[in-house]
């Protein structure tokens, strides 16, 4: 997976060398399914031919942890399968946070009345 611009600072300056060493360790093959880097194969979902490009997966999903035992060279399909559960959890947490923030914003809007103004209370 390409590194998202907002995450670039989380990777070490020598990431390209780390990536190259992981690909070399894997003999330029996916460490899960064994497919060779830069060949074409059939996409399982679309039935179209796609180029395999190995990416480096962080098994603990932490870009700062670049220990060799935490990194695997994976094809796109294996990387997506490996990350699926983590992405679902992250998406659910983001949705919960969005709901919470919307609630906080709404509560703040209700409480944004001027504080030095006296409001008449209805008499029963």
Residues 6+ apart with CB under 8 A from 112: none
Enumerate the domain spans of the chain: 5-100
Confidence category of residue 45, pLDDT binned at 50, 70, 90: confident
Query: CA 19, 65, 34, 45 torsion: positive or negative?
Result: negative
Q: Return the beta strands (E) in the chain as ranges.
A: 40-42, 49-51, 55-58, 71-74
What percent of the chain clears pLDDT 90, i.e. is strictly above it?
63
**Chain segment 57-113, per-residue pLDDT in tens:** 999 999 999 999 999 999 999 999 999 999 888 776 566 666 667 667 766 766 666
As a whole number of Å, the CA-based R_g of the chain is 24
Q: Is the pLDDT of residue 118 over 70?
A: no
* Per-residue b or e along 50-83, where b marks 16 or more CB atoms closer than 10 Å to that residue's CB: eebebbbbbeeeebeebeeeebbbbbbbbbeebb
Q: CA-to-CA distance for 119 and 28, rounded, in angstroms? A: 73
């Amino acid at each position: 997976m390409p590194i998202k611009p907002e995450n670039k600072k989380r990777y070490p300056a020598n990431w390209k060398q780390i990536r190259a060493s992981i690909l070399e360790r894997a003999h330029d093959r996916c460490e899960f399914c064994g497919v060779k880097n830069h060949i074409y194969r059939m996409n399982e979902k679309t039935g179209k031919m796609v180029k395999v490009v190995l990416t480096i997966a962080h098994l603990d999903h932490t870009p700062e942890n670049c220990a060799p035992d935490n990194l695997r060279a994976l094809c796109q399909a294996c990387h997506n399968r490996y990350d699926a559960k983590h992405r679902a959890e992250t998406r659910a947490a983001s949705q919960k946070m969005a709901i919470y923030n919307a609630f906080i914003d709404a509560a703040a809007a209700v409480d944004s009345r001027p504080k030095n103004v006296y409001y008449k209370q209805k008499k029963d």
